[in-house]
Amino acid sequence: MIGSGFGGAMAAWELVAAGLRVAMVERGGWVERGPQNWAGEGAFVRTPAYAPDSAFRVLQGRRWAEQNLCTCVGGPSVYYGGSSFRFRQGDFDPAPEIVGGSGAAWPLGYDALEPYYTQAERLLGVAGAAGSDPTEPPRSAPYPYPPSPLAAPSRRIEAAARSLGLHPFPIPLAINYAAETGCRRCTTCDAFACAIGAKNDIATRLVPELVSRGMQLFTDTLAVRLVAEGDRIAAVDCRGRASGEALVLRAESFVLAAGALATPHLLLASGLERMNPAGHAVGRYLMRHCNAMTYGLFARNPNPGNEHHKQLAIHDFYFGVDEKDAPPGKLGNMQQVMGPPAAMLEVGLPRPIARMATPLVEHMTGLLSIAEDQPRAENGVRIDPGAVDRFGLPRMSVTSLYSPRDLAARAALIRRAKKILRRAGAWGTATWKVSTFSHAVGTVRMGDDERTAPLDPDCRFRGVENLYVTDGSCFPTSAGVNPSLTIAANALRVGRRMAARASPAHAEAAG
């Protein structure tokens, strides 16, 4: 098992439950929990988890920039916002205006994933309100927990949206609101680790339990090569992150879940695309949503109680709007986003400007627009075998250019976000276009067609008997909601099928 994020830990959950012996290698270490998580230095881009030793080059727009991977036990879930959406039924049957010439097609429908969504919501203790989302797919069980009461800024957004004829509803959140251990409703949640473990991330909810049930976890250890013998993987070569010491792990089956950038990086570094009939697609079709945060500036602090208020989402525009200013077809999700903590300003702006802007932050609250982006062959991960890092991994570069449709969908959502914020009383608005890869998916997609999809419908890497990919890389399209719950549900599905193959008794127990 390579990677301890959503895809790795959820697949491991099923394998360990079936009594199989599992070893997991994770590039990062445990994130320490304490008050420092909520201080400026706790913003994830300022922590050691945003690891300079994983730096890669990115071409976005006309410029090359540098970014790092988020590496730690639990992966970026430790720093995530907890939004836990199921894909809509229609997301599994994407329209031609999204698919374009990419050949992307899901090999499974919503019904196949529904039981695993229910299981993932239970494992992550998701708090939500069934029946409140106008585009919600059918569900076989209610949410495990009810949502928290709305904070002042959320009530304001709710009233404004309703007065415009919209239908805001509670974001399903993987947050523990139970009174004794629970959430303190702070504003440093998204992009920060939770100091008290009330955010139900993978490092809090799954990994310790997996270890206590016998899973062997190697932290601060990188996989650097998958070694093939014939049509099987025989071993994975690893390096200690600090010591550089070599470790070779052998197993019956291997699960690659290093995230949608690091997974194709490892496959290409190992030359495995040459064994796959759709090898040309390995590393391509990268998507990351076309996101923007639009902030409203209010005369008075809209959040005098300084409360957590990433609480409401709006799906009235999800499947599109019949209006001239929007492209035909799906647009995506809109959800609340809290004003950027002052610490984050210092990351994005020169320090004197950040200091001047800090008082303004208290007068801001916002809406995040998540536009579905198109899978396109030109976007993806490449390696430069001539330049290797100190671990022996070839240098990775990433190309990510939005299509005119991606940009038009985002612009249409931004205009609607501004309208809601103005109706809520904002004097003015400012928009920040997101350039990170926090929602990266799609680089080793699954599908029925062996000419276009490197993974088969069970997420087995074609051409190699015993290699599976269970992270966000496997998505054929990105849909218009945050990806983690779907990564989790699919990894549980694949883990269950792997376990059934390894142990027929588990297949019977699993039905």
Is 212 strand, coil or helix? helix
Taking the C-alpha atoms of residue 32 and residue 381, their distance in angstroms, rounded to an integer, is 31
Q: Does 27 bind ligand FAD (CB under 6 A)?
A: yes
Site for ligand SF4 in 189-208 (CB under 6 A): 189, 194, 196, 198-199
The residue nearest ligand FAD at its CB is: 5
- Closest CB 510 distance from ligand SF4, rounded Å: 32
- Residue 260 interacting partner from ligand FAD, ligand SF4, none (CB closer than 5 to 8 Å by kind): ligand FAD
Site for ligand FAD in 59-88 (CB under 6 A): 69-71, 75-77, 79-83
Q: Does 188 bind ligand FAD (CB under 6 A)?
A: no
From the centroid of its chain, how far is CA 172? 15
Sequence-ordered alpha helix ranges (H) in 310-445: 342-348, 351-361, 404-423
Is 420 strand, coil or helix? helix
Q: What is the DSSP secondary-structure string of 441-475?
A: B-TT-B-S-TTT-SB-TT-BBTT-TTEEE-SGGG-
Q: Cα 100–287–438 angle (5° rounding)?
A: 160
Taking the C-alpha atoms of residue 56 and residue 15, their distance in angstroms, rounded to an integer, is 32
One residue of 1, 2, 183, 249 binding ligand FAD per CB under 6 A = 2
- Residue 487 interacting partner from ligand FAD, ligand SF4, none (CB closer than 5 to 8 Å by kind): ligand FAD
One residue of 108, 186, 211, 251 binding ligand SF4 per CB under 6 A = 186
Q: Does 171 bind ligand SF4 (CB under 6 A)?
A: no
And the tokens for 418?
């501004």
Strands 232-240, 394-399: parallel, antiparallel or unpaired by DSSP?
A: unpaired
Which residues on neighbouring strands pair with residue 60, listed in sequence order?
Answer: 63
3-class DSSP string for 295-341: EEECCCCCCCCCCCCCCEEECCCCCCCCCCCCCCCCCEEEEEEECCC
Q: Does 439 bind ligand FAD (CB under 6 A)?
A: yes
One residue of 86, 185, 410, 493 binding ligand SF4 per CB under 6 A = 185
Taking the C-alpha atoms of residue 427 and residue 424, their distance in angstroms, rounded to an integer, is 9
One residue of 204, 399, 482, 490 binding ligand FAD per CB under 6 A = 482
Residues 6+ apart with CB under 8 A from 435: 60, 65
DSSP state, 83? Answer: B
Q: Does 472 bind ligand FAD (CB under 6 A)?
A: yes
Q: Does 506 bind ligand SF4 (CB under 6 A)?
A: no
Judged by CB under 6 A, the stretch of 67-75, 118-126, 181-189, 482-490 that binds ligand SF4 is 181-189
Site string for ligand SF4, 285-324 (x = CB under 6 A): -----------------------x----------------
Q: Does 175 bind ligand SF4 (CB under 6 A)?
A: yes
- Residue 194 interacting partner from ligand SF4, ligand FAD, none (CB closer than 5 to 8 Å by kind): ligand SF4
Site string for ligand FAD, 199-228 (x = CB under 6 A): -----------------------xx-----
Q: Does 438 bind ligand FAD (CB under 6 A)?
A: yes
Q: Cα 83–87–89 angle (5° rounding)?
A: 155
Footprint of ligand FAD on this chain (CB under 6 A)?
2-7, 25-28, 44, 69-71, 75-77, 79-83, 190-191, 222-223, 257-260, 262, 266, 438-439, 471-472, 482-484, 487
